[in-house]
Chains A and B, each alone.
Chain A
Amino acid sequence: MSAEVKRKEPFIRMVKRDSMPLWKSVLIRIAAILISLVVCAFFIYLITHSNPVQVYRSMVDGAVGTGRRTWNTLRDTMILLATALAITPAFKMRFWNIGAEGQILVGGIVTAAVLRYCGESMPTAVLFLTMVAASLAAGMVWGLIPAIFKAKWNTNETLFTLMMNYIAIQLTSFFSIVWEAKKGSGTIGTINQKTQAGWISTKFLPDIFGNFNYSINVIIVIALTIGMFVYLKYTKQGYEISVVGQSENTARYAGINVKKVIMRTMAISGAICGFTGFLLVSGSSHTISTSTAGGRGFTAIIVSWLAKFNPFVMILISFFLVFMGNGATQIASEFQLNESASEVITGIILFFILGSEFFVNYKLVFGGHAKEGK
């Protein structure tokens, strides 16, 4: 061996960017979405052997093709958005609440209970107040349990909240059997089908959107969006959340009671999840089953993360994901494929958006010496 020591210059080096103009970062993300759509098209072609352009057209048709489909897409967007909003305060505090699914379900269970037992006896206003209060409380309890353990003993919250999901799912199937519509069916069926008592109804509104719409859901969730934006950005509590999220030590030195903030924030987060359960049961499905939450807890985390905790950006991302998902479900039924197609497509898109963040935060330098930062 020769004594010569070769210093290898790395071919590519990465350098962290200081900042990037907004238009450029938006451009990178749009490019990522476009590439992901091309990959999805390829995937679709591989399986259906039909023209991807045609397939995308039927996706659009599936998502917003008719008035009813548009409302369904809007409804699902609002539920996903509400879930994302719910987990955002916790998430911003770096508390990994992946238990939104369970918190939604317990909110849904108590809503269903109120509907079943009091739906026909209570005056409408009282009924709604009871449902909202009960769902908020149930979600809050479900969120608070892991938060207390996290605050007191630093118990891993990711797995704790995850396990709480399954406990809530088992609770749901317990009530599905206790309340089953037909003996042995294990499903509850539509609650208060005849009287429609306790349903969020839009019948009293002027008939501008057709008789089938979810305009009240949309209004509620948009109000929630604005509220969350203000809460996170302009209140003392919102500020405390972001300090705790940046560094717990800093927060402690600044005299913030970290434990209190963790518990309070998770109570809020869980309560909004519970409220989302109310929206699902009273405002759209009028029943409850183990699939009511439908994996939204996970998707919502991704929505919140991609939006960098900005509630308004979440509207866009939720809409986009629901649009693609509902579109893919349409393709699946057209080609008699499994409806999980929507999860596959959602997954592919998410991979690309997640990957694109790298190019927003870092830049690549090819060969040679790069100028040292700072």
Chain B
Amino acid sequence: MNFLWAVFKGIFSVTFVQKAITQGIPMLFGATGEIITEKSGNLNLGIPGIMYMGAIGGLTGAFIYENGNESPNGLLGIVFAAFFCLLFSLLGALIYSVLTISLRANQNVTGLALTTFGVGFGNFLGGSFSKITGTAGQITVYATGQAFRTKIPFLSDHLGPVGDIFFSYGFLTYLAIIIALLATWFLTRTRAGLNLRAVGENSSAADAASINVTKYKYLATCIGGMISGLGGLYFVMEYLGGTWQNNGFGDRGWLAVALVIFATWKPARAIWGSILFGGLYILFAYVPLSQSMQEIFKMLPYLVTILVLVVTSLQRKKENQPPAGLGLPYFREER
């Protein structure tokens, strides 16, 4: 009973909720990006790699700006970081798009290659930064990192626990939620969104209805990749405060891919899903167990994902299924 009570007390605390949200936001960015990508019929398993590329891109941008700048302006740092983050993740998404959409390479294989590349690229640049640029020690972009961490003024410190739970995060947290809501609106309420879903469900039919399949696939994959990249930016800036940790991002990219299934391809559902996943990710620290048993406890998010996979496959509900054309290349002359 004491055991349960300890866990209970840990979970129903402000810091636990805050930490769960902090852990969940990168996954939310990744999942939203991957949902948009998958809605075009592209199963991009390169998302974990793209998130690493976005992370190192953000760091590079901020470094370019802050290096040699006596009194860096945080706001400009954000602009540089965001621009390079989007640029690098766009590069990753473009590699995937050219290979799978134009060159009809296998999506799973290309995605895995992109993840190998992206994770390596991030760790390589992040780990060699000081050597390449000739600076001492691990690079930090303090001013930009702090700017990303700036909380909402007033609301965050005058409302007690409510302020702590809802308003104590940097702007990227709110951006993640807004993007997820916008993505839901886009996919269900706009013509372009419906067209995109048509492409993902049945490319031939969409093509026959004079929807430009190639254009939709490219745009969805690239925009989705860029959204995912922001998850990496969030991690290096708000979570780490503007520095790099080799393999620090860990397997969150894969959890983002898993979150897509958990959310059954609905970005709005990924919002609370990501907070749940974030909570599961850190739950081990709130359980009074020996160090070795904690390692067992860390399996939780993966076990839950498997459970969700099994349950959704058992249900076979029509609205919870992946896009019918997911993973298939489209070649007009092959009908």
Q: Let me know if A298 and B127 touch, CB within 8 A.
A: no
The interface bits of chain B over 84-126 (1 if a CB of A lies within 8 angstroms of the residue's CB, else 0) are 0000000000010011001111101110111111111111111
Known A96-B108, A159-B309, A351-B114; 4 more pairs at CB < 8 Å: A47-B128, A162-B258, A298-B115, A338-B124
State the B residues within 8 Å of A (CB): 43, 45, 95, 98-99, 102-106, 108-110, 112-128, 131-132, 246, 251, 254, 257-258, 261, 291-293, 295-296, 298-299, 302-303, 305-306, 309-310, 313-314, 322, 331, 333-334
Residues of B close to A17: CB separation below 8 A? none
Residues of B close to A298: CB separation below 8 A? 112, 115-116
- Contact partner of B108 (CB less than 8 A), chosen from A178, A301, A347, is A301
Q: For the complex, would chain B's binding face be called helix, strand, loop or mixed by DSSP majority?
A: helix
The CA of A339 and the CA of B117, in the complex, are separated in Å by 13
Do A347 and B120 contact each other (CB < 8 Å), given the known contacts A160-B306, A302-B112, A302-B113? Answer: yes
Q: Let me know if B128 and A154 touch, CB within 8 A.
A: no
Residues of B close to A98: CB separation below 8 A? 108, 112
Q: List 13 A-B residue pairs with CB atoms under 8 Å apart, sorted by A's residue number.
A: A14-B331, A47-B132, A153-B314, A156-B313, A159-B261, A166-B251, A170-B295, A173-B295, A298-B112, A305-B106, A341-B128, A355-B99, A357-B103
Q: Let me know if A338 and B123 touch, CB within 8 A.
A: yes
Q: Let me know if A16 and B334 touch, CB within 8 A.
A: yes
- Contact partner of B109 (CB less than 8 A), chosen from A159, A164, A173, A354, is A354
Q: Let me know if A362 and B104 touch, CB within 8 A.
A: yes
Distance to closest chain A CB from B298 (angstroms) = 5
Query: Which residue of chain B has its CB nearest to the CB of A163?
Result: B302
Residues of B close to A335: CB separation below 8 A? 131
State the A residues within 8 Å of B (CB): 14-16, 47, 96, 98, 149, 153-156, 158-160, 162-164, 166-167, 170-171, 173-174, 176-178, 295, 298-299, 301-302, 305, 332, 335-344, 346-348, 350-351, 354-355, 357-358, 361-362, 373
Query: Which residue of chain B has its CB nearest to the CB of A291?
Result: B247
The CA of A342 and the CA of B128, in the complex, are separated in Å by 13
Query: Which residue of chain A has its CB nearest to the CB of B115?
Result: A298
The CA of A292 and the CA of B13, in the complex, are separated in Å by 38
Q: Let me know if B116 and A347 touch, CB within 8 A.
A: yes
Query: Which residue of chain B has its CB nearest to the CB of A13?
Result: B333
Q: Let me know if B302 and A167 touch, CB within 8 A.
A: yes
Residues of B close to A156: CB separation below 8 A? 261, 309, 313, 322
The CA of A47 and the CA of B60, in the complex, are separated in Å by 14
Residues of B close to A338: CB separation below 8 A? 123-128, 246
The CA of A357 and the CA of B128, in the complex, are separated in Å by 33
Which of B124, B127, B257, B293 counts the most A-chain CB atoms under 10 A from its CB? B124
Q: Let me know if B254 and A162 touch, CB within 8 A.
A: yes
Q: Let me know if B113 and A347 touch, CB within 8 A.
A: yes
- Contact partner of A336 (CB less than 8 A), chosen from B45, B131, B251, B298, is B131
Distance to closest chain A CB from B149 (angstroms) = 26
The CA of A299 and the CA of B45, in the complex, are separated in Å by 13
Q: Let me know if A170 and B124 touch, CB within 8 A.
A: no
Q: Let me know if B105 and A357 touch, CB within 8 A.
A: yes
Q: Let me know if B116 and A346 touch, CB within 8 A.
A: yes
Do A355 and B103 contact each other (CB < 8 Å), given the known contacts A155-B309, A174-B295, A305-B109? Answer: yes
Query: Which residue of chain A has its CB nearest to the CB of B261?
Result: A159
Residues of A close to B106: CB separation below 8 A? 305, 354
Q: Let me know if B116 and A295 touch, CB within 8 A.
A: yes
Distance to closest chain A CB from B138 (angstroms) = 12
Q: Let me know if B114 and A347 touch, CB within 8 A.
A: yes
Q: Let me know if A299 and B116 touch, CB within 8 A.
A: yes
The CA of A163 and the CA of B299, in the complex, are separated in Å by 9
Residues of A close to B118: CB separation below 8 A? 347
Q: Let me know if B313 and A350 touch, CB within 8 A.
A: no
Query: Which residue of chain B has its CB nearest to the CB of A305?
Result: B109
The CA of A340 and the CA of B302, in the complex, are separated in Å by 26
Q: Let me know if B104 and A361 touch, CB within 8 A.
A: yes
Residues of B close to A301: CB separation below 8 A? 108-109, 112
Q: Let me know if A170 and B299 touch, CB within 8 A.
A: yes
Query: Which residue of chain B has its CB nearest to the CB of A145?
Result: B306
- Contact partner of A155 (CB less than 8 A), chosen from B102, B104, B303, B310, is B310
Query: Which residue of chain A has its CB nearest to the CB of B52?
Result: A340
Residues of A close to B125: CB separation below 8 A? 338
The CA of A346 and the CA of B110, in the complex, are separated in Å by 13
Q: Let me know if A167 and B117 touch, CB within 8 A.
A: no
Residues of A close to B305: CB separation below 8 A? 159, 163
Q: Let me know if B117 and A350 touch, CB within 8 A.
A: yes
The CA of A178 and the CA of B296, in the complex, are separated in Å by 12
Distance to closest chain A CB from B100 (angstroms) = 9
Query: Which residue of chain A has its CB nearest to the CB of B246?
Result: A338
Q: Let me know if A355 and B115 touch, CB within 8 A.
A: no
The CA of A164 and the CA of B303, in the complex, are separated in Å by 8
Query: Which residue of chain A has its CB nearest to the CB of B332?
Result: A14
Residues of A close to B306: CB separation below 8 A? 160, 163-164
Q: Let me know if B112 and A351 touch, CB within 8 A.
A: no
- Contact partner of B121 (CB less than 8 A), chosen from A162, A173, A344, A357, is A344
Query: Which residue of chain A has its CB nearest to the CB of B117?
Result: A347
Query: Which residue of chain A has its CB nearest to the CB of B114?
Result: A347
Q: Let me know if B333 and A16 touch, CB within 8 A.
A: yes
Distance to closest chain B CB from A31 (angstroms) = 15
Do A355 and B105 contact each other (CB < 8 Å), given the known contacts A153-B310, A153-B314, A166-B254? Answer: yes
Distance to closest chain A CB from B221 (angstroms) = 15
